[in-house]
Structure 1
Amino acid sequence: MASPIAVVAYDPEWVLIFEQIRDFVLPAVSDLVIGIEHVGSTSVPGLAAKPIIDVDVVVKAPEHMRIAVQRLAALGYVHEGDLGVTGREAFIPPQSMMWHHLYVVPVDNLELKRHLLFRDYLRSHPEEATTYGELKHELAHRFRDDRGAYSLGKSEYVTGVLQRAGWNG
């Protein structure tokens, strides 16, 4: 059984954890990537979040995906496939590292564009981040053991934020 959903207050240490992950991964893929992005709620200062860092490794072209998967496996990452998101490859981190979500995506991937637009909008609209954090706290309390209901409860708000940010994907 999965652990209960826990949404906690923003922790500035999340930036440092992201940097450790980035610095571990980057040497293995530096020739393939245009960047490694901290995405998700932990990447927005002041936003309450589940304390799990989300990382998008952005490769220059789709043909670099397979090579990146192989190199990350050599670091100890376990490839999980796309987990239902076409064009994005997910990984379980090495046992020696703190749990995090790591994805490899090509630069033109729609999910990457959505992640960055959402993150950047919340970073530049702290009142939206506060409202979203309050919603996440309430949903985590109400759906403590139901990740599907928790995610569904956020989806309408996320869609609204993306629309306000100019998403048309």
Structure 2
Amino acid sequence: MSVALGPLVVDAVDAQALAAFWDAALGSDDRRRLLTFRPQRAPKTVKNRVHPDLYVDDVTRLLDLGARVLAEHSGWTTLADIEDNEFCAFPAPRPGAAAAPARMFAVCTDSDRPEELAAWWAAVVGAEVRPGPDGTPRWLHHPAGWDDLIWKFVRVDDERAAPNRWEWSVRSDIGTRVDPQGNAFSVRR
């Protein structure tokens, strides 16, 4: 069975407005390749358990599009898009290299057991598991379909309180639509 990751599927109050924000942030071609939108299933009540990491030359360009700062960290900034979806902005390794304000380089998924989830998904999408900053094997490199993205499984202690508003999709005949830790995902054939 061949499984490849597809775009992130994002719940949206106003799918057209949210797509326009991300088109402006990433460029239309990258946005269409990486993100798709659907009407929200339920209002947002907790932080998203899945979010993108972006390289940016200047956070101000995202703020001008309607993003807002949630927190400043040493080395990155946590922002929210126009519908309060969290994402992290890191300084671009090669400033000025992209026309769009941002480039997605990773997808983060919260988990209380990130090593287990990373190992399961690595086997499914043929990715190489490498250590995260704490030295534990929980970052996937070169997953099928997301060859240019890193899939980071982030250790958190909070319990899942709602379905993921951002979920990944897979292109496959896979029989399941939920991984071992209860993350639903979309199946596209």
TM-score by length of 2: 0.34
TM-score by length of 1: 0.37
The structure in which a higher percent of residues are helix is 1
**Higher RCO (CA-CA < 8 Å; seq separation 6+):** 2
The structure in which a higher percent of residues are strand is 2
